[in-house]
Amino acid sequence: IRDYKVTGVQTCALPICDAGGRREAAVLSVQERLQFAEAILRSTPECIKVVDRSGRLLQMNPAGLAMCEVDSPDQVLGAMVGDLVAPRDREAFVAFHERVCAGRLGSITLEIIGLRGSRRIVESHAAPVVVGGETVQLAVTRDVTEREASQAAMKLARSSIDLARESFCWVRPDATIRDVNQQTCKGLGYSREEILRLRVEDLAPDFHSERWRDLVETLRRSGSLAFSTQCRRRDGSIFDV
């Protein structure tokens, strides 16, 4: 990018390829560049906000206003951003904001409460910027409520499986072991890390490569499968499953 002076207005030249692949120089005025930046801010689905050193909101794009359940910018501009943060996370937010305004990049996940009472889990990535001689926080915030709920459900399911008295073993089509629960480790006499380095035939000798391929193909066709076999513990003893 090169800067030019055209009739007293500073402009920026950007290389552009036309349909024939030829490069041309497109000249954008400062005003056009600002309009372009504003269009990006208005259309992005993530919250973009500027917070001054004291914690007051200076600017927020429409996506952010919607996230905070705000009808008009006047409802929040100049207000303390911390007031939108759930009480349990306010202390962490204040510490995070102070670090950013001290010149450090940062990210944080916390809960916010909209003006209509809705709760959301959000993830913010922030950087310090200088505005009018003052270092403020520029942050991009996304709603991760669904992601956090999904992860929480997965943790709950995993905890339930680990506490189960039955053995669970997840095996890939190539016969390598993806995961096991605690009961499987206890029954076989291996640690989880040791089992994940093994293959099916190391634990179930009957499942040689050809039989395993046939089982996988049958499972793909039917969607479920029940079978009996024998497993070998770490000490070499065999038991039926």
Higher-scoring residue by pLDDT: 224, 89: 89
Residue 16 has pLDDT above 80, yes or no: no
Residue 213 has pLDDT above 80, yes or no: yes
67-104 tens-digit pLDDT: 999 988 899 999 999 999 999 999 999 999 999 999 99
pLDDT of residue 225: 85
188-210 tens-digit pLDDT: 999 999 999 999 999 998 888 78
Residue 119 has pLDDT above 90, yes or no: yes
The torsion of the CA quartet 76, 79, 82, 87, rounded to 10 degrees, works out to -80
The per-residue pLDDT of the chain, averaged, comes to 85
Kindly give the pairing relationship between strand 57-60 and strand 47-51: antiparallel
Residue 191 dihedral angles phi and psi, to the nearest 5°: -80, 160
pLDDT of residue 223: 87
- Beta strands in 38-197, from DSSP E residues, in sequence order: 47-51, 57-60, 106-113, 119-131, 134-143, 169-171, 177-180
pTM: 0.58
pLDDT of residue 48: 93
pLDDT winner (highest mean) among 4-13, 78-87, 224-233: 78-87
